[in-house]
Amino acid sequence: MLPSLHARHRGVARRRPLLRLAALSVVAGSIAAACSSGESALEIDSGADPVQSTGAQGGTTGTAVDDTGSLEDTALASTTTVAPLADFPACPTDALAAATTGPIEITFWHGMNDVLEDSLIELTDAYNASQDKVKVTLQNQTGYDAAIDKFIQSSADSRPDMIQFPEYSLQTFAQSDTLIPIGACVESSGFDTSAFLDRAIDAYTFQGVQWAMPFNVSNPVLYYLRPKFEAAGLDADVAPLTLEDMRATSQQIVDSGAATYGWVLDSGPNSGGGWFLEQWFARAGEPYADNDNGRSAPATQVLFDSASGVELMTFVQDMINDELAVSIGDNSGGQDTYLKLIDPAADGAMTIGTSAALGGVLAAIDSGLAPGLTGADVGVGPMPGPSPEPGVNLGGASLWIVDGKGDEKTAASWDYITYLITAEAQSQWASQTGYVPVRSDALDIEPLLTTYAQDSRFRVAYDQMVAAVDGDTSLAPVLGPQREVRVATANATAAIFNGADVASTLAATVAQANALIASYNQRN
């Protein structure tokens, strides 16, 4: 375990959506351009004003494109006031019962693929068949970022009735003035959330308002190949729990020749280059950002260039330098780390990935992807981190209702949401995919009851999510430009994995992130 990290572990007024979404579009576009061009976003987007053509910081006006394509100059204000639900769009959940024509057709944009999409289709087909008031049409946007970009760039009329957004977009869309807070639907309908995991609800609450309904909840877990543990003389039933355990386990695997590398890493924004860094800080009881990770008030700065951050990234860099670990890069397809475990030329034994991949990983192995291996050869353990106690922040995505679609569509969207989060639906969803059920009573019914009893690998993500992470870091950081900050940290992580000086790289990245946050906060 990292000594210093372990020691620390012990111890609104309504805004104009046109301006907000136009600003988001420019920032997202600049980051995407940087990535696709091969340029570093750290170099070309250093916190300059994303909506002013001059690129100057500190201005109080901006230019936005409205939904008709016209330009508007708008004065920008900021507030940290916690607003009551009455200040936000209402959610008339009784409008569905009052509807005289039907079914009410709604469109849901999602980012699920492969076996995850298959499971969502199955649930949606069952919902459509269960009643005749609502008909849901699924539209796959291929991923979370694609859904975000399309929503930002769409006119009000062309946006869907419902959308799935990831956890790193919470503040962005809570402040976009384009969505209805789920808290208003809960209040309007008298919906009972007592069976829900408190952390799942809290994760999607911003400034006292629940904006989204948690649905596909995930967290990082350790994947490893049991035969390689056995070949190295390790107990395949005991996964490494701390980062020091990861080093010791990797050393034994490499020394024995069971695999070329112990640990396969990546530097993707929503995995090894961004999300995992947030998770490790939480595990160490260290704030990732000020103001209680942006939960008690909007964050103004990130803190990952602390002594703990330098120690953490130096530890990982040393494992790469000592050839106990290997990085495969940004892992843009999400599969490269798993494929490296079965690389016949230079293989690995362990990797960290989202629990949501579990169903797909087992299906791929059982399909014959790796000759000689079956799904039973895949081990799953808690995410190793800088403390001996397991615990993670919630990740994944949630369900949002789009404003301006009319009372009947709003009520229909809410009805569909309440189906997806029933104990029965969550039991099926978690059993098929590896996602964590958002309510505890889903564990008491089939098929999840049997799945957890017969295959403990599916329960690892649930157990480590309900394990306590101490203090203010029990909830993930909330940053307005969190997506862009993760791109910056991913670039920094890639550089560190390639040998860059850790302290100066983190310091430069913090400066970049803080400029992005300052620019965002000025507009909100």
pLDDT category at 152 given cuts 50, 70, 90 is very high
**Domain 85-218+394-445 shares a fold with domain 220-391+474-516:** yes
Q: Are 423 and 195 in contact (CB under 8 A)?
A: yes
How many helices and strands in the chain, by DSSP H and E?
22, 15
Q: How confident is the prediction for the chain on average, in pLDDT?
A: 86
Q: Which of 251-260, 385-394, 466-475 has the highest mean pLDDT?
A: 251-260
Q: Is the pLDDT of residue 303 over 60?
A: yes
Give residue limits of the domains in the chain.
12-75, 85-218+394-445, 220-391+474-516
| Residue 422 CB burial class (10 angstroms; 0-12, 13-18, ≥19) | middle
Estimate the share of the chain in helix, then strand, then coil, as percent rounded to the nearest 5: 45, 15, 40
Q: If we measure between CA atoms, which residue out of 344, 346, 334, 394 comes closest to residue 372?
A: 344
58 vs 301, residue with greater confidence: 301
pLDDT class of 83 with cuts at 50, 70, 90: low
Helix axis angle for 243-256 and 307-321, nearest 10°, is 10
- Please compute the mean of the pLDDT values over residues 419-433 and round it to a whole number: 97
134 forms beta bridges with 104
Is pLDDT at 307 greater than 90 in this prediction?
Answer: yes
Three-state secondary structure string covering 42-61: HHHCCCCCCCCCCCCCCCCE
Say what percent of the chain tops pLDDT 70. Answer: 84
Residue 314, pLDDT > 80, answer yes
Q: How confident is the model at residue 524 (pLDDT cuts 50, 70, 90)?
A: confident
Half-sphere CA count of 9, side-chain side, radius 13 A: 22
Report whether pLDDT(35) > 70: no
Q: Span 181-190, mean pLDDT?
A: 97
102: confidence class by pLDDT, cuts 50, 70, 90: confident
Percent of residues, the chain, with pLDDT higher than 90: 79
Task: Enumerate residues 6+ apart whose C-beta is below 8 A from 487.
Answer: 31, 34, 35, 41, 269, 274
pLDDT-derived band at 472 (thresholds 50, 70, 90) equals confident
How confident is the model at residue 332, as a pLDDT?
87
Q: Which residue has the higher pLDDT, 469 or 138?
A: 138
Query: Does the pLDDT of residue 479 top 90, yes or no?
Result: yes
CATH C-level class of 220-391+474-516: alpha beta
Which two structure tokens, joined as six digits, stand for 254? 């490499």
Span 85-218+394-445 CATH architecture: 3-Layer(aba) Sandwich (3.40)
**Can you read off the two tokens belonging to residue 60?**
């109080």
Query: What is the SS3 string spanning 186-222?
Result: HHHHCCCCCCECHHHHHHCEECCEECCEEEEEECEEE
Query: How many beta carbons lie within 10 A of that of residue 75, not counting itself?
Result: 8
pTM, to two decimals: 0.85
Looking at residue 38, what is its pLDDT?
35
Q: Is the pLDDT of residue 65 over 50?
A: no
353 and 338 in contact (C-beta within 8 Å)? Answer: yes
d(Cα 23, Cα 41) in Å, to the nearest integer? 17
Highest mean pLDDT among 14-18, 247-251, 393-397: 247-251
Per DSSP, 392 falls in state -
Could you read off the pLDDT of 366-415 as tens digits, one per residue? 999 999 999 999 999 999 999 998 889 999 999 999 999 999 999 999 99
**Contact, 154 vs 61, CB < 8 A?**
no
The Cα 482–Cα 299 span in angstroms is: 11
The span from the CA of 142 to the CA of 125, in Å, is 20
Task: Evaluate whether 23 touches 13 at the Cβ level (below 8 Å).
Answer: no
Mean pLDDT of 463-487: 90
In this prediction, residues 160-164 reach a mean pLDDT of: 98
Residue 256's pLDDT band, with cuts at 50, 70 and 90, is very high
Whole-number pLDDT of residue 75: 29
Instruction: Round to whole Å and give the CA distance between 391 and 350.
Output: 19
